[in-house]
Amino acid sequence: MSLFGAHLRRVRLMAFCALVFSCTVLPASTANWTARAHPARLVNGAPVLFQVQAPASLESLTGTWLGHQVPFSFDAATKTWFALAGISLETAPGTYALDLAGERPASPTKGALPKLSFSSKFTVFRGTYPRTEVKLTVEGKFTEPSPEQQQQIADSVKIKQEYLDRVTPDREWDGKFTAPADAAISDVFGSQRIFNGKAQRPHLGLDFRVPSGTPVAAMNAGTVLLARFLYFEGNCVVIDHGQGLLTLYFHLSEFKVKEGDAVKGGQVIGLSGGTGRATGPHLHVTVRWQGVSLDPARLLELPLP
């Protein structure tokens, strides 16, 4: 055999050994996972639907995303795990990991099997939100409250702190979210608000231009968490859709549900109005996920299973 032939044989042998070694050291937990996000382009302030296919049968699947625990549900029709999560307005553009951990069913012969784990990275871009200043005039009690009104504000803040960050374990929402009213949009998520010449925080909801007395529908199935008057929000209904996802409906003139009621998507929960800090009759809707405010318009666009 020539010197060149012997060298070529050694090169081929080394390549074969490297291939065998790489195959043997690849952890089974990272093989054949697929993780996708909808929409494909993620932005801050937006909800996100994660869909995951695991390499083996799982009893349960959980994830960690931006410091939040994300429970997944299984869609038997597509054999895909799915979860609804979100990205806060304060999240800086960059690349972030979705860390997954799956519990496997016990084996009749081997007993408990080791967990499967996987990490997938997603890029978050800066969302485009309107910078136009919306100048509004409201009653003075909302910008310069008296001591008594300050106490009412503090009481409302305490109620919101107690209720609005709750995370119940079971998913109640089912399928696509729908608009709470068939009406034009008068103000969008992320716009700058100025009341009586004083700058406020960005608008963290979606406003529908509806006259007082318009029926307001639940955006999806859930349980009524709150149905009471709050200082700035007025008559307010909060629906818990499970797993930390809430929808909030402000400025109502009348309640059609009470706290603890189970509601279906599309069910009338109240009538629109102008209670609380409102310049006139309209419906304000807010979406919160585990304490993070998200753009309701983007939630309505998600193709949820």
Domain ranges of the chain: 1-29, 32-125, 136-301
Tokens of 73: 């549900």
Which listed CATH number (2.30.42.10, 3.40.50.720, 2.70.70.10, 3.40.350.10) goes with 136-301?
2.70.70.10
3-class SS shares of the chain: helix, strand, coil, % to 5: 15, 40, 45
pLDDT at residue 185 is higher than 80: yes
276-289 residue pLDDT tens: 988 889 999 999 99
pTM for the full predicted model: 0.84
Tokens of 56: 């083996």
> What CATH number has the domain spanning 32-125?
2.60.40.1590
Cβ partners under 8 Å of residue 265, min gap 6: 173, 174, 175, 177, 178, 217, 218, 219, 220, 221
pLDDT at residue 27 is higher than 50: no
86-99 residue pLDDT tens: 999 999 999 999 99
